[in-house]
């Protein structure tokens, strides 16, 4: 056979094998030092997020003028999954999601192309139109605060700009941005009364400045043999140039800008402000490029900060707040700790093999990990929380093949063979079974690589790291391990093994042998009893409950604040100050970053920044440490305190693993009429608040917004000679302002030139009295002569899903409640809620995400099971024997469910991955038993005697492989991580129940189903897995 030839070659050419051994170790060590490190997997989502700002437009106008045309344009694209849109005051957000199997970059380009084609047809006055991508690498790795209560805004702006310029030069850094700092501008504050008195339209000033600010190249000219580029006098670099700009000749007088406006430096209207621990601050963030080591990028940034901090003015200090490398380092340190614990536990379980044999087996752990990390590095994966979990998971699986090989070599040595002969013969005897075992394990994990959707992409690095290390361990077990055994094992050992082995074997003879004989005496009873236990364990599923991904074990959390629509920033700040004060009273809190008018910059991969609004604020909070017991309790205490604040909805949000969702519980209400949708949303809110276990119920349309409608008499305006659109532009220019050009300083920095009413007037109703509308004949008419203002109510926002209107009411679950159970109770209550025809309720949130994620898992489980069955058919060439081997699968489910129930974890996405992995691990042990039973029967043993003998001899390697897997996973289970621990408890519990039950059930099934004469089924050596001619 090829496999035996490979093992023989490794033993005979031991010098070459030693060189390969050293090479693999060196490659792995180098890969570990160079592989990129990050907190989360780098995941590109097939999303395009379109943001359009049209100041002054209400949600109905935004829906009509912006959202519907964009939806119609992108709806033509292929692979479109869904379109989520939201219209708010002056803002449109359209999120386009494509099929996860499509190319995210190409789909992003397709959306950009459609938006660019549509742009000329969109309304004038759009301030911002951008299309953003979704990818985890855009998450900021550091956030710094420049803190000062006294420094002028311009000083902070210059400092922040200088700092970002220096950070940009750090190798591996992608972007550096400044936040919570109103930018400087050149403001032209118009005197509307003076303009009206002179009969000058307000737009004339804006047009004059805009014309002079334009910098158009004059083109080339020739002078003799020389060629020159002609430059005109366009552009401004001095404020006096703006002041002396000629507006026009009115009544025989030259009117300049200074005659009708004040020109000076100013700060743009503050729409986003920041604080660090209650002190005024500007924030600077930075992220890294793909495939970069987060530690190297962070160190480069901190070197810049060290130098920059020394140059700061006395009244400005720097606070290095958020640092992603702290959590990455914590996970890596935990990996080292878990590795040490796992190796120690594995070493203890290997004592029955003897110290030399155990030492040889242990070599496979670091060597397999080294090869696995090298393969991760070559294929573009990083060391992140999922790949690290995969490496820790694999710790208990890497030694399985080596244990089987070494234990068989030891057995041959005890039978009197020499080391060289025993190493080759023993490895050859079981090599095919070992390959079949590992193939079954690989097939269990392989379908996880192709899980659809965001959940599949998020978890992909976990199965790939397991597959790489397990495949490496197989090659090592068939080459390096026989070589080491042939050189290091003793051929003069005690015929019954060392003292540990004799104790184990005594237990096998005195306890296991009688139980096995009882099971073989009543095989049907044993099998039926096992089936009853398996079916009974399924009753635990409703008690365990389902979930998707757990909250992240993070020191950081967010406190989101929303005051009623129409509330100004001053009132919203009071709520933010209250939250900050309550947080600073807690000794557990390290720091608080307050954001007024916007959410904090993105610092978690699935937590996108919220839109900019005067009635919204957010506190980004870091605790001194995360404690799995104390931290959730602290969160609940803070929620109770925040609930006492009147006039604002305050929601404490923890970060959650997995793809982004709006909230754990989401009820989507579809319909066309906004009034009916609002009424139904109120009823749904009442239901949600009445269900036990819910908290932080959010109804986005609970309160309408109040608008001030000018009530322009367009017919009268036309009769008085007001050109069409002139009223809209004049009012917008006065209230919102209009950027008419750019001012360039000597160092090349550019600042916008903005014309508007003085900032202290443009937000009051009285300001409307100062607005005059120009007519076609040069006269000016007061706005109040053309309008009849009135207050009117309108929706605060309009949401759409796949081009349909909807309202989504969301909620979170209280600590200790299962999201699935609470959601089911909510929808049971909604069944009796009356609703008009054409209106419906649908579940969103975690239920929807779980259905999408688990639908892919169902296919993965089927592929894994049938793939394993295919391998078994190829190996044993008989359906009955295959059925015996596969019969072990339900036995592990018993322990897996018990493990979740006892530990208190729900059946999450990673727990289901644990069950899939468990299938492959169980099959490995079953193959060893059945294959050895067949070998004994071919040597002439009777059926009953062969089953008993195989059960006893194979009990030790099966027990050792199970114990090593349990030992390797124990640190992962004891972490208390909501992401990793359920997976570990499933496999540990499943291995316990499978090891105990299968040692009795599998022999009983074999005794019942195996052919009475072995020649009815071909030998393994002649199976399809064997090489021709061997």
pLDDT tens string 694-709: 999 999 888 777 778 8
Question: Mean per-residue pLDDT for 709-737?
Answer: 83
Taking 90 as the threshold, does the pLDDT of residue 596 lie above it?
yes
Whole-angstrom Cα distance, residue 95 to residue 565?
Answer: 23
Q: Are 425 and 14 in contact (CB under 8 A)?
A: no
Q: How far apart are the first and last CA of the chain?
A: 5
Taking 70 as the threshold, does the pLDDT of residue 350 lie above it?
yes
Q: 287 pLDDT band (50/70/90 cuts)? A: very high
Rg of the chain over Cα atoms, rounded to whole angstroms, equals 36
Query: 């967010």: which residue's tokens?
Result: 558
Instruction: Select from 1010, 86, 244 the least CA-distant residue to 613.
Output: 86
Taking 80 as the threshold, does the pLDDT of residue 785 lie above it?
yes
Quickly count: other Cβ atoms within 10 Å of residue 1004's Cβ: 26
Percent of the chain with pLDDT over 90: 40
Phi and psi at residue 359, to the nearest 5°: -60, -40
Q: Are 156 and 181 in contact (CB under 8 A)?
A: yes
792 compared with 639, residue with greater pLDDT: 639
Phi and psi at residue 597, to the nearest 5°: 95, -5
Write out the H or E segment, with its range, that includes residue 281: strand 279-288
Q: 492 pLDDT band (50/70/90 cuts)? A: low
Q: 761 pLDDT band (50/70/90 cuts)? A: low
The Cα-based distances of 500 to 15, 615, 962 in angstroms read: 33, 71, 17
| Structure letter (DSSP) for residue 656 | B
Question: Mean per-residue pLDDT for 615-641?
Answer: 92
Residues in the chain: 1030
Q: Are 998 and 885 in contact (CB under 8 A)?
A: no
Instruction: Select from 584, 585, 560 the least CA-distant residue to 572.
Output: 560
State the Cα angle at 797 between 671 and 755, rounded to 5°: 145
Query: 């184990």: which residue's tokens?
Result: 504
Question: Mean per-residue pLDDT for 947-954?
Answer: 87
pLDDT of residue 378: 92
Pairing verdict, β 184-190 and 750-756: parallel
Q: Are 739 and 754 in contact (CB under 8 A)?
A: yes
pLDDT of residue 1018: 43
Taking 90 as the threshold, does the pLDDT of residue 606 lie above it?
no
Helix residue ranges per DSSP H, 794-844:
819-830
Whole-angstrom Cα distance, residue 1002 to residue 985?
Answer: 24
Query: Cβ-count burial of 491 within 10 angstroms (0-12 exposed, 13-18 middle, 19+ buried)?
Result: middle
The chain-wide mean pLDDT, for the chain, equals: 86
Query: 């070459």: which residue's tokens?
Result: 16
pLDDT of residue 1019: 42
pLDDT of residue 1028: 34
Instruction: Select from 389, 441, 463, 468 the least CA-distant residue to 972.
Output: 389
Taking 80 as the threshold, does the pLDDT of residue 807 lie above it?
yes
Taking 50 as the threshold, does the pLDDT of residue 59 lie above it?
yes
What are all long-range contacts of 427-431, with beta carbons under 8 Å and residues at least 24 apart? 427/4, 427/7, 427/478, 427/481, 427/482, 428/1, 428/3, 428/4, 428/7, 428/8, 429/935, 430/404, 430/405, 430/928, 430/931, 431/1, 431/3, 431/4, 431/7, 431/478
- Count CA atoms within 13 Å of residue 556 on its CB side: 20
Separation of CA 169 from chain center? 28
Q: Are 704 and 698 in contact (CB under 8 A)?
A: no
Collapsed DSSP state (helix, strand, coil) of residue 449: helix
- pLDDT tens, position by position, 139-198: 899 999 999 999 998 899 999 999 999 999 999 999 999 999 998 899 999 887 788 788
3-state helix, strand, coil in the chain (%, to 5): 55, 20, 25
Whole-angstrom Cα distance, residue 965 to residue 987?
Answer: 9
Taking 90 as the threshold, does the pLDDT of residue 73 lie above it?
yes
pLDDT of residue 361: 85
- Count CA atoms within 13 Å of residue 265 on its CB side: 12
Question: Mean per-residue pLDDT for 527-536?
Answer: 93
Residues 6 or more apart whose CB falls under 8 angstroms from that of 340 comprise none
Whole-angstrom Cα distance, residue 891 to residue 530?
Answer: 7
Q: 228 pLDDT band (50/70/90 cuts)? A: low
Quickly count: other Cβ atoms within 10 Å of residue 357's Cβ: 28
Phi and psi at residue 218, to the nearest 5°: -80, -15
Instruction: Select from 557, 702, 568 the least CA-distant residue to 642.
Output: 557
Separation of CA 986 from chain center? 23
- pLDDT tens, position by position, 391-410: 877 876 787 788 888 888 88
Q: 301 is written with which tokens? A: 């940034």
Residues 386-402, buried b or exposed e (16+ Cβ, 10 A)? bbbbbbbbbbbbbbbbb
Whole-angstrom Cα distance, residue 661 to residue 655?
Answer: 11
Q: 1016 pLDDT band (50/70/90 cuts)? A: very low
Whole-angstrom Cα distance, residue 966 to residue 397?
Answer: 9
Q: 48 pLDDT band (50/70/90 cuts)? A: very high
Query: 């958020």: which residue's tokens?
Result: 322
Q: 1022 pLDDT band (50/70/90 cuts)? A: very low
Give whichever of 209-223, 277-291, 548-562 has the largest mean pLDDT: 277-291
| Structure letter (DSSP) for residue 37 | B
Write out the H or E segment, with its range, that includes residue 740: strand 738-744
pLDDT of residue 1024: 33
Structural domains in the chain, CATH included, are 2-34+350-548+850-1022 (1.20.1640.10), 41-138 (3.30.70.1430), 184-267+711-788 (3.30.2090.10), 556-705+796-840 (3.30.70.1430)
Whole-angstrom Cα distance, residue 857 to residue 913?
Answer: 8
- pLDDT tens, position by position, 647-688: 899 999 998 887 778 889 999 999 999 999 999 999 999 999
354 compared with 422, residue with greater pLDDT: 422
pLDDT of residue 641: 94
Q: Are 849 and 455 in contact (CB under 8 A)?
A: yes
Taking 90 as the threshold, does the pLDDT of residue 880 lie above it?
no
Q: Are 89 and 52 in contact (CB under 8 A)?
A: no
| Structure letter (DSSP) for residue 352 | G
pLDDT of residue 993: 93
- pLDDT tens, position by position, 149-162: 999 988 999 999 99
Residues 922-960, buried b or exposed e (16+ Cβ, 10 A)? bbbbbbbbbbbbbbbbeeebebeebbbbbbbbbbbbbbb
Give whichever of 626-630, 874-878, 1001-1005 has the largest mean pLDDT: 1001-1005
Whole-angstrom Cα distance, residue 146 to residue 676?
Answer: 48
Whole-angstrom Cα distance, residue 861 to residue 856?
Answer: 9
Q: 1023 pLDDT band (50/70/90 cuts)? A: very low
Q: Are 798 and 805 in contact (CB under 8 A)?
A: yes
pLDDT of residue 904: 87
Question: Mean per-residue pLDDT for 379-389?
Answer: 85
Instruction: Select from 242, 310, 268, 276 the least CA-distant residue to 157.
Output: 268
Question: Mean per-residue pLDDT for 513-540?
Answer: 92
pLDDT of residue 588: 95
pLDDT of residue 852: 75
Instruction: Select from 143, 5, 794 the least CA-distant residue to 431.
Output: 5
Separation of CA 845 from chain center? 15
Q: 329 pLDDT band (50/70/90 cuts)? A: confident
Residues 6 or more apart whose CB falls under 8 angstroms from that of 509 comprise 952
Q: 690 pLDDT band (50/70/90 cuts)? A: very high
Taking 70 as the threshold, does the pLDDT of residue 1017 lie above it?
no
- pLDDT tens, position by position, 964-986: 888 878 888 887 778 788 989 99
Instruction: Select from 835, 752, 981, 794 the least CA-distant residue to 127.
Output: 752
Whole-angstrom Cα distance, residue 821 to residue 685?
Answer: 18
pLDDT of residue 1030: 36
pLDDT of residue 108: 93
pLDDT of residue 542: 87
């Amino acid at each position: 056979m090829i496999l035996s030839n490979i093992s023989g070659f490794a033993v005979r050419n031991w010098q070459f094998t030693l060189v390969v051994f050293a090479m693999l170790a060196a490659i792995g060590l180098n890969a570990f030092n160079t592989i990129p490190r990050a907190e989360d997997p780098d995941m590109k989502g097939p999303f395009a997020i379109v943001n359009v700002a049209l100041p002054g437009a209400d949600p109905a106008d935004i829906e009509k003028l912006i959202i519907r045309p964009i939806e119609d344009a992108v709806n033509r694209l292929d692979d479109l999954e869904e379109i989520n849109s939201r219209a708010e005051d002056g803002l449109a957000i359209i999120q386009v999601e494509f099929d996860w199997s499509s190319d995210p970059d190409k789909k992003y380009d397709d959306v950009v192309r459609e938006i660019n084609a549509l742009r000329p047809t969109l309304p004038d006055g759009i301030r911002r139109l951008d299309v953003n991508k979704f990818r985890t690498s855009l998450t900021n790795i550091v956030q710094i605060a420049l803190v000062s209560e006294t420094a002028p805004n311009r000083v902070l702006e210059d400092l922040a700009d200088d700092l970002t310029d220096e950070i940009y030069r750090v190798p591996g850094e992608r972007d550096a941005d400044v936040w919570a700092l109103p930018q400087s501008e050149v403001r032209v504050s118009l005197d509307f009364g003076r303009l009206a008195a002179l009969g000058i339209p307000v737009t004339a000033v804006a047009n004059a400045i805009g014309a002079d600010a334009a910098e158009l190249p004059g083109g080339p000219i020739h002078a003799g043999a020389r060629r020159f580029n002609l430059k005109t006098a366009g552009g401004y670099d001095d404020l006096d140039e703006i002041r002396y700009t000629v507006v026009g000749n009115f009544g025989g007088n030259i009117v300049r800008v200074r005659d009708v406006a004040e020109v000076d430096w100013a700060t743009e209207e503050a729409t986003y402000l920041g604080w660090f621990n209650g002190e005024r601050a500007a924030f600077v963030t930075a992220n890294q490029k793909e495939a970069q080591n987060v530690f190297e990028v962070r160190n480069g940034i901190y070197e810049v900060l060290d130098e920059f901090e020394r140059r700061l003015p006395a009244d400005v200090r720097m606070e290095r707040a958020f640092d992603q490398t702290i959590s990455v380092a914590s996970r890596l340190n935990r990996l080292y700790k878990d590795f040490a614990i796992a190796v120690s536990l594995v070493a203890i379980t290997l004592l029955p093999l003897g110290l030399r044999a155990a030492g040889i087996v242990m070599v496979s752990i670091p060597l397999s990990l080294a090869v696995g990390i090298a393969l991760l590095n070559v294929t573009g994966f990083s060391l992140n929380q999922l790949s690290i979990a995969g490496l820790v998971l694999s710790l208990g699986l890497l030694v399985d093949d080596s244990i089987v090989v070494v234990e068989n070599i030891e057995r041959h040595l005890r039978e009197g063979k020499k080391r060289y002969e025993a190493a080759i013969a023993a490895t050859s005897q079981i090599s095919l079974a070992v390959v079949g075992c590992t193939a079954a394990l690989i097939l269990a994990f392989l379908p996880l690589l192709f899980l659809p959707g965001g959940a599949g992409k998020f978890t992909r690095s976990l199965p790939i790291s397991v597959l790489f290390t397990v495949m490496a361990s197989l090659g090592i077990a068939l080459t390096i391990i026989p070589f080491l055994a042939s050189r290091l094992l003793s051929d003069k050992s005690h015929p019954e093994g060392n003292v540990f082995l004799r104790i184990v074997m005594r237990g096998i003879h005195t306890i296991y042998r009688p139980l096995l004989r009882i099971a073989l005496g009543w095989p049907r009873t044993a099998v039926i009893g096992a089936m009853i236990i398996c079916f009974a364990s399924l009753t635990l599923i409703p008690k365990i409950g389902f979930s998707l991904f757990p909250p992240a074990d993070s020191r950081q959390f967010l406190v989101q604040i929303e005051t009623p629509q129409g509330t100004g920033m001053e009132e919203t700040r009071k709520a933010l100050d209250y939250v900050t004060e309550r947080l600073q009273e807690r000794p557990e809190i390290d720091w608080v970053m307050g954001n007024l008018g916007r959410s904090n910059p993105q610092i978690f991969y699935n937590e996108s920044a919220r839109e900019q609004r005067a009635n919204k604020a957010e506190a980004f909070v870091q605790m001194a440490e995360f404690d799995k017991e104390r931290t959730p309790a602290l969160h609940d205490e803070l929620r109770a305190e925040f609930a006492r604040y009147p006039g604002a909805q305050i929601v404490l949000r923890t970060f959650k693993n997995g793809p982004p969702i709006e909230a754990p519980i989401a009820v989507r209400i579809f319909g066309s009429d906004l009034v009916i949708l609002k009424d139904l949303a109120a009823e749904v809110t009442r239901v949600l608040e009445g269900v036990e276990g819910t908290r932080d119920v959010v109804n986005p349309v609970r309160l309408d917004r109040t608008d001030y409608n000018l009530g322009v008499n367009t017919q009268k305006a036309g009769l008085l000679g007001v050109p069409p659109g002139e009223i809209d532009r004049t009012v917008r220019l006065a209230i919102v302002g209009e950027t008419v050009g750019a001012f360039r300083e000597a160092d090349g920095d550019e600042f916008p030139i903005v014309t508007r009413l003085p900032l202290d007037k443009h937000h009051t109703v009285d300001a409307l009295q100062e607005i005059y509308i120009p007519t076609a004949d040069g006269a000016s008419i007061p706005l109040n002569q053309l309008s009849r203002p009135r207050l009117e109510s309108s929706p605060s926002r309009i949401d759409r899903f796949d081009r349909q209107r909807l309202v989504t009411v969301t909620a979170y679950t209280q600590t200790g409640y299962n999201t699935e159970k609470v959601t089911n109770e909510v929808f049971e209550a909604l069944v009796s809620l009356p609703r008009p025809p054409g209106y419906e309720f649908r579940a969103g949130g975690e239920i929807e995400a779980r259905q999408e994620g688990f639908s892919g898992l169902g296919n993965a489980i089927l592929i894994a099971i049938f793939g394993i069955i295919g391998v078994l058919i190829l190996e044993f060439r008989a359906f009955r024997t295959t059925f015996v081997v596969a019969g072990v699968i339900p036995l592990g489910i018993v322990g897996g469910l018990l493990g979740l129930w006892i530990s208190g974890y729900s059946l999450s996405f990673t727990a289901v991955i644990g069950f899939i992995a468990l299938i492959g691990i169980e099959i490995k042990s079953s193959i060893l038993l059945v294959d050895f039973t067949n070998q004994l029967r071919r040597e002439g043993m009777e059926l009953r005697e062969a089953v008993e003998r195989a059960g006893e001899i194979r009990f030790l390697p099966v027990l050792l492989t199970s114990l090593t897997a349990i030992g390797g996973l124990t640190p992962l289970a004891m972490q208390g991580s909501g992401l990793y621990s359920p997976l570990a408890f499933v496999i540990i519990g499943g291995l316990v129940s499978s090891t105990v039950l299968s040692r009795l059930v599998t022999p009983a099934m074999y005794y019942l189903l195996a052919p009475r004469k072995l020649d009815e089924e071909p030998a393994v050596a002649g199976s399809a897995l064997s090489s021709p001619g061997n």
